């Protein structure tokens, strides 16, 4: 069977340097250095025919893709079909995996993670999607589908951050909930209960 996918550009992995062009600082209090990747790639083909290359280290962060590489697509440049999720979010997921691969000495340093639930580069990565709860939920879904626990954790944490301190009416608007199934009396009681919680908080 002939594949009609049109191959897009490879996910870019730019080298990281300090703003003044100096190499990253070193020492116990410095951010761990960015890890150089091997240059090996995996070909990702989505259900809609979108295709792109990702660093093999990034592909293997997905446990689903890791097992596929080991079981059905061994070799230097394996081709991995990904079904059931929109290609836009599959691509974003692997862009995040590429960043994880480059920063793996940082996100595996549990003492550093204990200092900040979300690392600076993670927050910078997720910010373009911060204002869209739909984007965050899609990333949560694709992270679950591909078994990328770090993306699931980040998407869930930022989604919860977006919902924090919202009233039930604000949450209904954010989540596009038009029918809660509650009677007007029940909704009024919920509003009173939440108003009281905000007063005592």
What does the pLDDT read at residue 182? 78
Is residue 82 in a domain? yes
Question: What pLDDT, in 10s, does the model give residues 36-64?
Answer: 667 888 999 999 999 999 999 999 999 99
Measure the CA–CA gap between 78 and 76, rounded to whole angstroms.
6
The answer, as to whether pTM is greater than 0.75, is no
H helix runs in 27-177, sequence order: 56-59, 63-71, 87-102, 104-107, 110-115, 120-126, 133-145, 149-163, 168-174
Measure the CA–CA gap between 152 and 154, rounded to whole angstroms.
6
Is residue 32 in a domain? no
Q: What percent of the chain has pLDDT over 90?
A: 34
Q: In what order do the strands lie in the sheet with 50-55?
A: 6-7, 50-55, 41-46, 79-82
Residue 168 scores a pLDDT above 50: yes
DSSP class of 165 = T
Across the strands, what pairs with 53? 43
| Lowest-confidence pick of 16-20, 42-46, 89-93, 164-168 | 16-20
Is residue 11 in a domain? no
Domain that holds residue 150: 37-177
Measure the CA–CA gap between 80 and 82, rounded to whole angstroms.
6
Residue 150 scores a pLDDT above 50: yes
Instruction: Give the count of domains, the chain.
Output: 1
Is residue 7 in a domain? no
Is residue 24 in a domain? no
Domain CATH for 51: 3.30.710.10
Query: What number is the average pLDDT over the span 144-168?
Result: 89
* CA-based nearest residue to 5, from 66, 81, 58: 81
Is residue 162 in a domain? yes
Is residue 195 in a domain? no
Measure the CA–CA gap between 4 and 147, rounded to whole angstroms.
27
**What's the token pair of residue 122?**
């993670």
Question: What pLDDT, in 10s, does the model give residues 81-123?
Answer: 998 789 999 999 999 999 998 887 665 554 444 445 678 888 8
């Amino acid at each position: 069977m002939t594949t009609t996918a049109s191959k897009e550009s490879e996910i870019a992995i730019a080298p990281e340097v300090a703003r003044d062009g100096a190499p990253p600082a070193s020492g116990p209090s410095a951010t761990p250095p960015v890890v150089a990747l091997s240059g090996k790639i995996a070909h990702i083909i989505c259900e809609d025919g979108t295709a792109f290359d990702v660093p093999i280290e990034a592909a293997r962060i997905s446990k689903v893709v890791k097992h596929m590489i080991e079981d059905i697509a061994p070799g230097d440049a394996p081709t991995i079909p990904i079904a059931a999720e929109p290609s836009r979010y599959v691509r974003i997921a692997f862009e995040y995996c590429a960043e994880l691969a480059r920063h793996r000495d940082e996100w595996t340093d549990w003492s550093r993670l204990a200092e900040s639930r979300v690392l600076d580069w993670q927050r910078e990565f997720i910010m373009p999607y911060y204002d869209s709860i739909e984007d965050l939920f899609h990333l949560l879904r694709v992270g679950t589908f591909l078994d990328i626990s770090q993306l699931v954790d980040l998407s869930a944490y930022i989604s919860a951050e977006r919902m924090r301190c919202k009233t039930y009416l604000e949450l209904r608007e954010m989540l596009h909930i038009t029918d809660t199934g509650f009677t007007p009396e029940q909704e009024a009681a919920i509003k009173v209960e939440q108003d009281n919680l905000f007063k005592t908080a």
